Amino acid sequence: MTVALMWEARAVPGRGEELLAWARAQELPRPPLRRETFRAPQDRVLVVTWWDADADADVPELPEPDAGLVVRAVHRWRFESLGTEGSGRSEG
């Protein structure tokens, strides 16, 4: 089974690049199958890690950044992968 962990934080206004750099610099105790980092408006950063594990398994997660860097607590979600669909290309 594959589980995806989503970690999302919103930086203090104007500190989005600093939060992004902080998130990218975080090393987990063991590497996930895959790790992807995203940014969004309002200085938000999202990190998704994929693990070969059950949905309730004890797998490493990114920590909370310093309180002065974010406007609220980090949001975290776990999802069980149900596979991929489509090729990502439209046909026509």
In a domain, 76, yes or no: yes
CATH code of 31's domain: 3.30.70.100
Residue-wise pLDDT for 50-85, tens only, equals 999 998 999 999 999 999 999 999 999 999 988 888
In a domain, 26, yes or no: yes
In a domain, 90, yes or no: no
Residue-wise pLDDT for 3-52, tens only, equals 999 999 999 999 999 999 999 999 999 999 999 999 999 999 999 999 99
In a domain, 92, yes or no: no
* Cα 49 from Cα 45, distance rounded (Å): 13
Q: What is the pLDDT of residue 86?
A: 79
Range of the domain at 20: 2-57+66-80
Closest CA to 81 of 58, 37, 48, 47: 48
What is the number of domains present in the chain? 1
In a domain, 6, yes or no: yes
- pTM, 2 dp: 0.88
In a domain, 91, yes or no: no
Cα distances from 74 to residues 9, 40, 44, 65, in angstroms, run 5, 15, 10, 8
In a domain, 88, yes or no: no
